[in-house]
Amino acid sequence: MLTLFTRIKDFWPVIVAAPVPIVGALICAIGRKDGSYTEKVRRMEDAARTERHRAEFYKHIGEASNEAQATKPASRDELTDRLRKHGL
C-alpha cells in the first residue's frame, strides 16, 4: 500500500499534466463551434437587413413611377393645356 502512495506521489505531475492538452483541445473545439455559429447568425442577419433595404428601395422606385404616371397627361388636350400653363 505504501508503494502505491509512493508511486502516486512520484507521478502526480504526470497525472495532473496529462489531461491539460485534452482539456485545451476541447475548449478550443467548443470555442470554434460557438464562433462559427455566431458568424453564421451574423451573416443571416446581414442578409435579412440587405433584403429589407432592397425591398424598401423597390417600394420607393414603384412609388416614384406611380407619381410619374399620375402626373402624365392622358390626352392631347391635357398635354397642350399643361404646356401652355407651365411651358417646356
Q: Between residues 10 and 41, which one has the greater pLDDT? A: 41
pLDDT at 85 over 80: yes
pLDDT at 72 over 80: no
- The answer to pTM > 0.75 is no
What three-state secondary structure class fits 72? coil
CB atoms within 10 A of CB 61: 10
Q: What is the pLDDT of residue 2?
A: 61
Contact predicate 62/55, CB 8 Å? no
Residues in the chain: 88
Q: Max CA-CA distance within the chain?
A: 116
